[in-house]
Amino acid sequence: MPYSDMGIPAEELLEQIFTKTQNLYKEICHSESDASSNHYEIFRLLTDLGRILINAGDAVLKHVAQILYTNMRICDGIYRWGGEEFIAILPDTDMDGAAETAERIRRAVQASICHFEDLDIKVTMSFGVTTIDRSKSIEDNIKDADEKLYKAKESGRNIVIK
């Protein structure tokens, strides 16, 4: 299932999928076929629904990755971190420069629409920006960025926190 943590307006996506599901369910349940056939059709519907959600999530990740790559310098590194998170390394960039880059990407993602099958998925992103502290471990540096990211999510999402 696409995560709203990724910035997907889950309510809108789920509403579109629910409407599709409801229409298919009505079609199945009101058909003249026997009950066992209806059970099979409902199972098939749920299987198809799971596939749609997984594939929609993959489409959103590819969509966001494309925006990231087009908004980063050649010397920057962008890495997928976990399910729906990314880490960006911006060499020779201070905190303000990194926050400006994150804001530019945030606006580009917000202005875009991910098209998947017959769904138009509006995507937003939240960012936690920090500078690397060489006295800390990699894990602690990532933890600092993560804390800012969660603060962004708790603050209403679709923002950059530095």
| Catalytic choice (84, 85, 100, 139) | 84
Spell out the residues 6+ positions from residue 83 whose beta carbon is closer than 8 angstroms to its own.
3
Residue type for position 60: V
Strand pairing report for 85-89 and 77-81: antiparallel
Question: Which of these, 85, 71, 98, lies nearest to 126 by C-alpha position?
Answer: 85
Residue with tokens 């790559």: 69
**Rounded Cα distance, 19 and 2, in Å:** 17
How does DSSP classify residue 83?
T
**Rounded Cα distance, 39 and 53, in Å:** 21
Per the document, the length of the chain is: 162
The residues with which 86 forms a beta bridge, in sequence order, are 80
Instruction: Please confirm, yes or no, whether 41 is among the known catalytic residues.
Output: no
Give catalytic residues, as residue numbers: 84
